[in-house]
């Protein structure tokens, strides 16, 4: 199912809801997921700064370390 189909299905489900409290909860959930906390913003800014200064770790190195630490999950 592609994103557009998923959105249409979600819209249909929402349109069928008759409980105002449930609709309010859904709105609050969506809004809470679309707003970053100040700590999240700071962490993202720090990560971007690190990448801009070549301080990041290459994906293949991270994956190698992850596979060695958690080998039971990579079978």
User: Domain boundaries in the chain?
Assistant: 38-73
Q: What is the pLDDT of residue 43?
A: 94
Confidence of residue 74 (pLDDT cuts 50, 70, 90): confident
CB 14 within 8 A of CB 26: yes
The three-state secondary structure class of 60 is helix
Instruction: Give the model's pLDDT for residue 36.
Output: 84
CA distances from 19 to 30, 39, 46, 47, 71 (A): 17, 34, 42, 42, 47
**Mean residue pLDDT across the chain:** 91
CB atoms near residue 21 (< 10 Å): 8
DSSP 56: S
Q: Tell me which of 3-7, 19-23, 34-38, 66-70 is least confident.
A: 34-38
Q: Is the pLDDT of residue 75 over 80?
A: no
């Amino acid at each position: 199912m592609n994103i557009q189909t998923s959105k249409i299905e979600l819209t249909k489900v929402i349109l069928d809801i008759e409980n105002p409290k449930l609709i309010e909860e859904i709105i609050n959930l969506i809004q809470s997921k679309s707003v970053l906390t100040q700590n999240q913003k700071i962490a993202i800014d720090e990560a971007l700064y690190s990448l801009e200064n070549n301080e990041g770790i290459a994906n293949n190195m991270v994956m190698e370390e992850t596979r060695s630490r958690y080998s039971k999950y990579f079978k």
